[in-house]
Amino acid sequence: MWLILIITVVIIGAIFLARKASMPVEKKTQEFLKTQQTRSKEEVSGRSLPPPPPFPMGSTRRKDANRIAPKRIFRLDYDGSHDFDNYPFEIVGESHYQSNIERFAVKREGKGCFTEVEAKIIREFSNSHDKNACRVDINGLTVGYFPRNNAESWVKLLGRLNMPDNSEVYVKAVIVGGGSKDYSFGVRLDIPSRIANSAKYIKEV
What residue segments make up the domains of the chain, in order of their start? 1-48, 61-204
Query: Mean pLDDT, to the nearest integer, of 88-92?
Result: 98
Average pLDDT over the chain, rounded to an integer: 82
Cα dihedral 63, 198, 140, 124 sign = negative
Q: Would you call 31 helix, strand, or coil by DSSP?
A: helix
Nearest one of 138, 137, 119 to 190, comparing CA atoms? 119
**pLDDT given at position 56:** 54
Report whether pLDDT(94) > 70.
yes
**What confidence tier does 178 reach under pLDDT thresholds 50, 70, 90?**
confident
What's the pTM?
0.68
Rounded CA gap, 179 and 115, in Å? Answer: 13
Which of 56-60, 109-113, 134-138, 142-146 has the weakest average pLDDT?
A: 56-60
Which residue would you say has higher pLDDT here, 172 or 65? 172
Give the separation between CA 95 and CA 127, rounded to whole angstroms: 18
